[in-house]
Amino acid sequence: VDLLEDEKNQQKIKEKMNKAYLDQKINRIVEPMVVELMKQTPDDPISFMIDWLKDNHGNRASVHANERFELDHLRKEVPKLKERIAELDQGEGDDEEAGSERESAGSDEEDYVDELPEKVAKKAGQMRTSVSAEAFGIYNKKEDFKPIVIEKSDEVKLKIQKRLNDSFLFNTLNEKDQNIVLGAMKEENFAVGDVVITEGDDGDVLYVVESGLYNCSKIFPRQTKPTNLTKYEAGAAFGELALLYNAPRAATITCIEAGTLYSLDRNTFNHIVKDAAAKRREKYEDFLSQVKILESLEPYERSKLADAFKEETYAPGEYVIREDENGDVFYFISDGEAYATKTLEAGKAPVEVMQYKRGDYFGERALIKNEPRAANIIAKTDLTVVNLDRHSFKRLLGPIEEILKRNISSYTSMKTE
């Protein structure tokens, strides 16, 4: 009886895991594809679905090619390491005293050798699709990195330093790393009409804007003309996607007001900036893909949105926003729960009108209609939110109304604050 009960429990657990996998990983890919399939009703649905997957998710399969290459090399080394371990063990058996001395003198090295196969196996099971991997290892050793230094005036150094402090990519670096980045940055001037980067090209630099204005456009699947996504002004950074994910340029950037950019080479970025930037972006990208109102965003747009997030935490009972206050900040709940209260009758206490959980959002009216806050939002549990001010949202993605219009049916069906 106990065995049967245990089997039933295991089956239930497996079913839950399968359902969670379908809900979190598969449905959000398949559902929009099926919707598009029904709209187009192609004669050859299989070819259509293959093309759709290539258009919308085509770059992901190749992102880890370098990492897999290095992993294959490490796997080939495992038998040699095991042989070495066996030799060491045999030596200890033949000469116990010598083995004891070796254990005392070289324990750190042997521990590392023992653990390496397990670590390699663990690495294979933990590959993520959201972060790229230009292998370091024996093919790109960090210790071989030699920073380049481009001479520049003190005035230019101060300007670059200010931009580094303002940029999410660089403001978490320590002083030593910031100085390396500052030294490697190159000043470049652009005139109106100059194309800074071109969609589809390989990328080997990123840019930080000192002055001027730069338009970002992209040709989406089944479109022949580019769509304008956003504009970059002083303090903004762009071009990092190709470096973060080792992928082709995701959009075209054109100068529309003459100005100056600071460029940073791939090598310096990989060794100094990449890890910190990738961790921050990875933290929010999967979360954003599960937010219903933003499900139509391109991965490129979600990445840029994640870059601008500011995180806040609240204890149970704390107010995130208060009714009738002015505000221009839009919130997403990344962890925890909250609830809204609203004054329905003058002179009476506010009453609860809505509950919020992970993935829900509030504060949108401040960006859409420039209205005072319509309700109080209060933390129900320990709460973590990420917020985005009006300027950041418009700078990165254009007016919020345009984003919401893509999901107008879901937007109008959901209650707001």
For the chain, first and last CA: distance in Å? 52
Could you tell me which of 224, 202, 416 has the C-alpha nearest to residue 330?
Answer: 416
Q: Write the burial class of residue 109 (CB in 10 Å: 0-12 exposed, 13-18 middle, 19+ buried).
A: exposed
DSSP at 373: P
Where do runs of H (alpha helix) occur along 290-399? 299-308, 364-368, 390-397
Q: Is 240 annotated as a binding residue?
A: yes
Could you tell me which of 364, 360, 304 has the C-alpha nearest to residue 332?
Answer: 360
Dist CA 276 CA 288 (whole Å): 19
Where do runs of H (alpha helix) occur along 210-349? 240-244, 266-268, 274-289, 299-308
341: left (phi over 0), alpha (psi -120 to 50) or beta: beta
Could you tell me which of 315, 244, 313, 325 has the C-alpha nearest to residue 278?
Answer: 244
Could you tell me which of 137, 388, 167, 132 has the C-alpha nearest to residue 278?
Answer: 132
Q: Is 364 annotated as a binding residue?
A: yes
SS3 track for 166-179: HCCCCCCCCHHHHH
Q: Is 222 annotated as a binding residue?
A: no
Dist CA 136 CA 144 (whole Å): 10
| 8 Å CB contact between 385 and 331 | yes
Feature table: binding site: 240, 249, 364, 373
Feature table: binding site for 3',5'-cyclic AMP: 240, 249, 364, 373
